[in-house]
Amino acid sequence: MTMQRDPGTIDWQQQPIRIAADVKVWPVRETGEPIYRIEIPATHQFFRVGLSEYTFLSALDGHRTIAQACGLVTAKMGRAAPSSSQCESIARWLIDHRLAHFADAPPPRREHLCQASPADNSQSKSILSRWNPFWIKMPVPGAAGLLQYLSRVLGFLFSTPMLIVGTLIIVAALVGLTSRWSEFIAGASSIFDPSNWAWLLFTAIGLKLIHEVGHAIACHRAGGSVREAGVVWVLMTPLAYVDVSSCWRLPSRWSRIGVAAAGMFIEGLIASLAIGGWMLSDDEMFRWWCHHVILTAGLSTILFNANVLMRFDGYFMLSDVMDVPNLATEANQSVRQFLRRWFLGDASWNNSHTGWRRPAVFVYGWSAVAWRVLVCVSLAIAASTMLGGAGIVLSILGLWMWWGKPLVQFLKSMRTLWDTEPIQVCRGAVLGTTAVGVCGWMLFSMPIPSSVRVPVVVQYDPDSAIRVGRKVS
């Protein structure tokens, strides 16, 4: 029986630490700087560290203590080496994420992919948070093996000749659609007919299934693998998903961009074939169905998959194009630092990006916040409208998952800050209350020309007397 150590009783500087034997590390370049990616193959977890952090962890051979490893790194890197306290923080991080273990302790166990060690309990998600009513993820056993078989059979779809042919088909279909655009738009009103919503739902589910299969095929062809696949329920609507996180092993970011774009390419190709069927067929029923396929594929691609503000295909493509792997995390950090600066007077601004990336990450952060608010409000309204009282309960739970827990964490951080910097907390409370009051006044009291009032006079037709009687000849 292995006893779990209490981190508070450990003299970290005198502890020899060993990197786990199954951990893989390889170098890449991001924004011109050397970066090292770390993978735990058994759990498909990926991490990234800089040159100084990698130099330190490479010195942890199980014989050197943290202090000795820190001294060795300092001798090699000079002023660029991490400090003693930073080395201790790196060691704690390695232990917490089961990338390393104490030399006199057994290596971390990896039997269960989702099993967390006691050190991970503070970072693991609760059961309630994993079952957000707006987003429920359900892996399907055996789906990854089936996708691997399909990838061997259909891998030729992403060969260079097929990509060229598919692109030409998409361009030709778009040109043909523009020539009959008015006719196409005139029939688009059928999407609002409730009697067609069932057909739209089944069409969307089928397209999303093919979309995810496209990701899996492209991932296998590029040299990656699919860890798992299944169904994610978005507002009680089933959508397919595949986990292609193994793309982080790919050395080329353009290969990762290709995998991210594969689903949209397949969906666009299907929509192009539907455009051809809609233009050439005389069967009204078939043309009606093709029209729905075009609308469903086009709208879903624009609103979701190609939307860089959501963590779908467009986001990962933008992240690789900008060469900022943790774009969402760094954008959120940029927004938090801005708010702390203006509301708390915290002048510190930690940003590793320079040049055009720095303002781009900042603008992306605020755009993502605005989009997140819009999506939350829209889903809450849709749930309460479509599901009645149950929808209201789901809306409250979903909003709590997305906004309630961050609010509680914010209040806890303010309580901690009160012990050391009460003036900052008072400043933040005054400015925050003022900002909320101004926004509330603008929303509820300020006149907004959302509707136009025009004085009119209503006149009724003259009354007519209608009598029922028998006609006399």
Give tens-digit pLDDT for 9-68.
677 778 889 999 889 998 888 777 888 999 888 887 888 888 999 999 999 988 889 989
Length of the chain: 473
Rg, the chain, Cα only = 29
Residue 245 scores a pLDDT above 90: no
Q: Which domains are delineated in the chain?
A: 10-115 (3.90.930.60), 130-322 (no CATH), 330-434 (no CATH)
The mean per-residue pLDDT over the stretch 151-177 comes to 93
The mean per-residue pLDDT over the stretch 164-193 comes to 88
Give me the pLDDT at residue 269, please. 94
In whole angstroms, what is the distance from residue 285 CA to residue 291 CA? 10
| Average confidence score pLDDT of the chain | 82
The mean per-residue pLDDT over the stretch 111-118 comes to 45
In whole angstroms, what is the distance from residue 383 CA to residue 134 CA? 9
Confidence of residue 357 (pLDDT cuts 50, 70, 90): confident
The mean per-residue pLDDT over the stretch 5-9 comes to 58
Confidence of residue 110 (pLDDT cuts 50, 70, 90): confident
Give me the pLDDT at residue 298, please. 80
Confidence of residue 130 (pLDDT cuts 50, 70, 90): low
Confidence of residue 405 (pLDDT cuts 50, 70, 90): confident
What are 33's strand-pairing partners?
A: 30
Give me the pLDDT at residue 125, please. 47
Residue 217 scores a pLDDT above 70: yes
47 vs 395, more confident: 47
Confidence of residue 444 (pLDDT cuts 50, 70, 90): confident
In whole angstroms, what is the distance from residue 237 CA to residue 130 CA? 17
* Least confident stretch, 191-205, 246-260, 326-340: 191-205
Give me the pLDDT at residue 115, please. 43
Residue 3 scores a pLDDT above 90: no
Give me the pLDDT at residue 346, please. 76
- Within 10 angstroms of residue 92's Cβ, the number of other Cβ atoms is 15
**pLDDT tens-digit readout, 277-308:** 999 998 888 998 898 899 888 877 877 888 89
Give me the pLDDT at residue 6, please. 56
Burial status of residue 227 (CB atoms within 10 A of its CB: 0-12, 13-18, 19 or more): middle
The mean per-residue pLDDT over the stretch 399-416 comes to 78
Give me the pLDDT at residue 349, please. 66
3-state secondary structure of 372: helix
Under 8 Å between Cβ of 169 and 266: no
- Pseudo-torsion of CA 226, 230, 232, 236, nearest 10°? 170
The alpha-helical segments, DSSP class H, found in 191-252 are: 197-222
In whole angstroms, what is the distance from residue 77 CA to residue 89 CA? 18
Under 8 Å between Cβ of 196 and 190: yes
245 vs 117, more confident: 245
Give me the pLDDT at residue 449, please. 60
Give me the pLDDT at residue 202, please. 86
